[in-house]
């Protein structure tokens, strides 16, 4: 398994990260060089999902992106700069000066860790002026910190983890050394990120099964004599489930007795539900078929486990009042996913105006309520007879009759006409819902 990892940092840090990645056959490195922190949002907004994980050159860019919500701790990390990297830099300082340098200023580090580290190696006689890391800090503030300490005689030189600070201190003529990640620390972070990526892949490859169980009042499969209408409803349901199966890149199995299983992966299920809630999908299928059903979703590391969890989800949905969509994961955690009001009959939430109009005209609520709820669910501002024909599984003629009756009652109004360039015939009316109007 080869993992694609994005690396963010200045040129000198990326060079070291690249050298470590070149020696690791598991890593495919994609480099993103930056100099100003303002460049970071653009990089991650464009490329966040082009790689599996991210490695940052240090804590400053990492925490800056974390605070902006550009990445999460799970998908990114950085090599610590207060271990081998800092000790190595201090050793270079002593070598270059040919003596023991006792006073230095140091930025963007954990003060407690630095004191513990130097105490452990009996280097406590080095006096550090520390600018402790407290999240993202403006470069100018860090430059001023080093300059003021040098000019006050509190430090003989500066150690910085940031390239921008390093270059500016050089320009000001202040002795400065740059702390860059050590190869050992980078390798450790690569190991961590690879392990996370591997776990993520296995997690997404878990089996997920979406089960649909027709309820007794809506199930027609237990009968010995089938009406045309009942057969049509079952065929409509199967067609809707085939459409859902295609979206899930899965496989649909008729388990008999009004139960259907869609076999897919956890990754495909999450991809679908990241865009559309499963309860929304269930509501749409219900409106298209007029059948009562429970949806049970089961996840597991094996098909057997996932199937068992689907059955448990069905039982859970039955035991909880109002629960129509239930989920059981590999840890046997149960969840009620019925986020939307899940109505099967004509109990849709109609506005008071519609209720009064239908009552006045003694018109049965079922079909108008279904149309109203579907238009609201799909967030349509305008609709044609084609939309309602597909919803009601009706003929064009019957649909036009229903819409004409609703228009006469003042529940909808025609706002335009739409002529198809491909088909002859009269133009189709474009409607919108009327929500508030005084009853005449």
With CA atoms as reference, report the closest residue to 249 among 259, 237, 264: 264
DSSP state of 48: G
* Mean pLDDT score, 319-332: 90
Is the pLDDT reported for residue 222 higher than 50?
A: no
Structure tokens of 342? 């899940």
pLDDT in the model for residue 125: 72
Residue with tokens 């059981």: 328
- CA of residue 16 relative to chain centroid, distance: 32
Q: Are 103 and 127 a contacting pair, CB within 8 Å?
A: yes
Q: Are 211 and 260 a contacting pair, CB within 8 Å?
A: yes
Assigned fold of 3-78+184-201: Rossmann fold (3.40.50)
pTM of the model: 0.53
pLDDT in tens, 86-131: 888 888 998 999 998 889 998 887 777 777 777 776 676 777 787 8
pLDDT in tens, 280-298: 888 888 888 888 899 999 9
Percentage, residues of the chain above pLDDT 70? 88
With CA atoms as reference, report the closest residue to 73 among 93, 49, 91, 56: 56
pLDDT in the model for residue 389: 84
- CA of residue 342 relative to chain centroid, distance: 25
Say how far apart CA 366 and CA 154 lie, in whole Å: 82
With CA atoms as reference, report the closest residue to 401 among 390, 383, 389: 389
- 84-180: which CATH architecture? 3-Layer(aba) Sandwich (3.40)
* Mean pLDDT score, 194-201: 82
- 206-336: which CATH architecture? 2-Layer Sandwich (3.30)
Domain with CATH 3.40.50 in the chain: 3-78+184-201, 84-180
Say how far apart CA 198 and CA 1 lie, in whole Å: 8
Structure tokens of 377? 């669910």
Residue 13 exposed, middle or buried by CB count within 10 Å (0-12, 13-18, 19+): buried
Assess if CATH 1.10.10.10 describes domain 352-433. yes
Domain with CATH 3.30.70.270 in the chain: 206-336
Q: Please, where are the H alpha helices in 23-159?
A: 40-47, 59-67, 84-97, 111-120, 139-151
pLDDT in tens, 339-373: 644 444 444 467 888 989 999 999 988 888 888 87
């Amino acid at each position: 398994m080869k993992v694609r990892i994005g690396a963010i940092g200045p040129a000198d840090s990326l060079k070291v990260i690249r050298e470590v990645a070149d020696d690791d056959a598991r890593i495919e490195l994609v480099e993103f060089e930056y100099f100003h922190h303002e460049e970071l949002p653009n990089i991650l907004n464009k490329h966040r999902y082009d790689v599996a994980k991210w490695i940052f050159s240090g804590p400053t860019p990492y925490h800056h992106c974390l605070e902006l919500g550009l990445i999460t701790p799970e998908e990114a990390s950085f090599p610590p700069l207060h271990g081998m990297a800092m000790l190595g830099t201090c050793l270079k300082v002593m070598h270059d000066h040919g003596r023991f340098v006792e006073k230095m200023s140091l930025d963007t580090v954990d003060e407690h860790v630095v004191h513990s580290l130097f105490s452990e190696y009996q280097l406590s006689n080095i006096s550090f002026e520390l600018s402790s890391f407290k999240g993202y800090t403006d470069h100018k503030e860090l430059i001023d910190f080093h300059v003021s300490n040098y000019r006050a005689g509190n430090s003989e030189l500066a150690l910085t983890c940031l390239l921008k600070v390093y270059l500016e201190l050089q320009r000001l003529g202040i002795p400065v050394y740059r702390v860059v990640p050590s190869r050992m620390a980078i390798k450790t972070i690569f190991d961590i990120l690879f392990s996370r990526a591997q776990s993520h892949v296995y997690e997404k490859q878990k089996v997920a099964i979406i089960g649909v169980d027709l309820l007794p009042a809506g199930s027609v499969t237990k009968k010995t004599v089938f009406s045309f209408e009942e057969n049509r409803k079952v065929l409509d349901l199967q067609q809707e489930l085939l459409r859902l199966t295609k979206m899930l890149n899965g496989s649909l199995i008729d388990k008999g007795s009004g139960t259907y299983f869609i076999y897919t992966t956890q990754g495909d299920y999450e991809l679908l539900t990241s865009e559309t809630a499963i309860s929304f999908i269930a509501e749409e299928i219900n409106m298209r078929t007029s059948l009562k059903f429970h949806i049970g979703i089961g996840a597991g590391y094996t098909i057997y486990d996932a199937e068992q969890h689907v059955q448990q989800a069905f039982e859970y949905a039955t035991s909880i009042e109002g629960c129509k969509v239930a989920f059981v994961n590999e840890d046997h955690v149960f969840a009620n996913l019925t986020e939307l009001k899940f109505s099967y009959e004509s109990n849709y939430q109609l506005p008071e105006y519609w209720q009064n109009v239908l009552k006045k005209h003694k018109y049965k609520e079922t079909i108008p309520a279904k149309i109203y709820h579907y238009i609201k669910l799909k967030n349509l501002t305008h609709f044609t007879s084609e939309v309602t024909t597909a919803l009601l599984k009706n003929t064009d003629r019957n649909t036009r009759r229903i819409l004409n009756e609703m228009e006469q009652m003042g529940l909808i109004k025609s706002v335009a006409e739409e002529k198809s360039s491909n088909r002859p015939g009269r133009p189709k009316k474009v409607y919108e819902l009327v929500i508030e109007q005084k009853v005449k």
